[in-house]
Amino acid sequence: MATISDMTVQSGFVFEAKVEQLEASTARGFPATAETVVVRVTTILKSPPALANYVGQAVTVQLKPPVNLAAGDEAVFFTHGVHYGEGLVLGEVGRAPAGDSTMEAQVQSAMEAGRRDELTQRLAQAELVISGVASEPTSYTAGGPRPISEHDPDWGTATISVETVEKGNHNQPSQDVLFARSMDIAWYGAPKVKAGDRGVWLLHRRDTRGKPVPDLAIVHPLDFQPAPELENVRALLRNSP
């Protein structure tokens, strides 16, 4: 049986809700089946920014069979996104009883552990890790004009005044860093740099899908860590295999 920690790590949206309808759907493009239920969100425990204000809204959950819920039941749903459009449909990862006073703490603990593990992985994959302060960003123009493709990152570049080098070889006072300015779904979570940003920069040669990028870049939400996280980053680097 999956634990709360396991289900939290596997889920993007965790919430408590009340079942309103069985074999129903709120999405026109996602027909109702014997496994779909409409629930109304009462409490959010984990969510992406786009769903942070879904308290009080009705959503569709595609349950794992067998279905053992009834209208009026309340539960904590661990889910991932299945369908976006005219109505939100979520796939069930798992479920827990409602009313557990420790649930929020359990989910938060699992989220922190998952974030720590993911940051350790990003540090291991980074070619260069530095701390420093960003200059005013500009458009990235090296190599001349490039064709605009679907989910184009719209690269910007900022110069980092290097304060410390935490991983990799670097002996210059500054380092140029690429970042995706696009708010497209493929890039909205990537760090957006502004002048004066100070922290730890995890620089990579590939994006999160493994494709090469034009120069050292931050492409993942964890690739920029605020300055107070420097000691945590150092501890993770020391303890890495």
Domain boundaries, the chain: 4-103, 115-239
Q: How confident is the model at residue 159 (pLDDT cuts 50, 70, 90)?
A: very high
Residue 60, number of CB atoms within 10 A of its CB: 22
Residue 144 has pLDDT above 60, yes or no: no
* 74-87: b (≥16 Cβ within 10 Å) or e: bbbbbbeebbeeeb
- What number does CATH give the domain 115-239? 2.40.50.120
Residue 139 has pLDDT above 70, yes or no: yes
pTM of the predicted model as reported, rounded to 2 decimal places: 0.67
Check: CATH 3.40.190.10 for 4-103? no
Residue 145 has pLDDT above 70, yes or no: no
Of 136, 118, 117, 130, nearest to 201 by C-alpha is: 130
Q: How confident is the model at residue 143 (pLDDT cuts 50, 70, 90)?
A: low
| 100-129 tens-digit pLDDT | 999 999 999 999 888 899 999 999 999 999
Domain pair 4-103 / 115-239, same fold: yes
**Predicted local distance difference test score (pLDDT) of residue 229:** 95
Residue 226 has pLDDT above 70, yes or no: yes
**Predicted local distance difference test score (pLDDT) of residue 156:** 96
**Predicted local distance difference test score (pLDDT) of residue 189:** 84
